[in-house]
Chain A
Amino acid sequence: MVSNAFSAPYLPAGMRSVKIVVLGPFGVGKTSYIGAISEIAPLRTEERLTQAGQVVDELNVATKSTTTVALDFGRRTLGGGIVVYLFGAPGQPRFADMIRSLLDGALGGLVLVDTRRIEESFESIGLLEEADVPYVIAVNTFAGAPLYDEAVLRDALSLPPDRPVVHLDARHLESAKTGLIALVADILRPMRSVT
């Protein structure tokens, strides 16, 4: 029962939050990305999920089991009373219900892709499409990872033609922020064209 109240990162009054969900498979760089953008050390919460009969476990077949999934998050205050919260969501299909819940109320999603295993980001894209949440694809440029022509990448991910693709280094703010800029610019585009 240790209170962390003294170290809690309080925000000024009157701010408005924006939620952005960072998706992609395990090890693609979600936590690095959140750490690069965040002004606080990334924090972690646990979400519990119940999967009735979903878990194939020889000791626990067809029973109701509770699992937890860790969500890493960070935040960045911008000028003008805006604070952006970034949540990292694991892309595994078994967490789909939790991700759907997380996408509720999100401004948008950023799907990190490792070109050595593009197909592992496919599930995240499906969840975003289903939730009708705008998103961008951010290719995390790992050293030594194959470089793909954008058309090949789009084909491999069955990506709708209107979804932006950016290439970035998830570890560095200057590069990482281009993913968020592309996302917000994409959301703004149809609003600007309304006269």
Chain B
Amino acid sequence: MSPVSAAGHSRRGVVRSHTVIGADPAPAGVHVDLATLLSVDPEAKGRGLRAQAQRVMALCAPGVLSVADVAAHLYLPGGVVRTLVAELVASGHLLAADPFVPVAQRHEAEFLERVLHGLERL
């Protein structure tokens, strides 16, 4: 903890979006980030889904999008989409790939080297 963070910040905990929008809680164990990449499970059937979930499935059908992309294109709050997506992942309709976060392993350094080289080439 550095002197900076000791300067009066009180930790009140993260406000989970599903607790403030009144939607169903996200299924246990399904983590969905705004930068999580989504694709439709080709085996999945869209029947029986609620309207908002069907909109998510329809938007994602042609290709890969992030949760944030879905929220922006459907004009829905990010927290609402995260909850919808978590349900669709848990039910097997969507496949989700969370963003990369390093835990200091060798193959992760290789990945980050590729990120670095990609940025340098921009």
**Quick check: is A9 within 8 A (CB to CB) of the other chain?**
yes
Q: Which has the most chain B C-beta neighbours within 10 Å: A78, A80, A125, A173?
A: A78
CB-CB under 8 A from A76, the residues of chain B are 122
* Contacts across chains A and B counted by CB atoms under 8 Å: 207
Given known pairs A12-B64, A47-B79, A125-B4, the reply for A5 and B58 (CB within 8 Å) is yes
Given known pairs A3-B58, A85-B66, the reply for A126 and B116 (CB within 8 Å) is no
Q: Please tell me which one of the listed residues A66, A106, A122 contacts residue B101 in the complex, with CB atoms under 8 A apart.
A: A106
CB of B99 within 8 A of CB of A85, answer yes
The contact size tier of chain B is: 35 or more
A4 to B120, alpha carbons, bound, how many Å? Answer: 33
CB-CB under 8 A from B2, the residues of chain A are 129, 158, 160
CB of B34 within 8 A of CB of A19, answer yes
**Quick check: is A151 within 8 A (CB to CB) of the other chain?**
no
CB of A107 within 8 A of CB of B13, answer no
CB of A87 within 8 A of CB of B68, answer yes
CB of A8 within 8 A of CB of B12, answer no
**Quick check: is A118 within 8 A (CB to CB) of the other chain?**
no
Return the chain A residue nearest B77 by Cβ: A46
CB of B64 within 8 A of CB of A11, answer yes
0/1 string, B70-89, CB within 8 A of A gives 1 = 01111001110100000000
CB-CB under 8 A from A184, the residues of chain B are 112, 115-116, 119
CB of B1 within 8 A of CB of A82, answer no
A126 CB to closest chain B CB, in angstroms?
Answer: 5
A80 to B69, alpha carbons, bound, how many Å? Answer: 21
Stretch at the interface among A23-31, A96-104, A140-148: A96-104
List 14 extra interface pairs beyond A4-B59, A18-B35, A100-B14, CB under 8 A: A17-B99, A18-B115, A45-B77, A49-B20, A66-B20, A80-B118, A96-B9, A104-B14, A158-B2, A177-B119, A184-B119, A188-B113, A188-B116, A190-B104
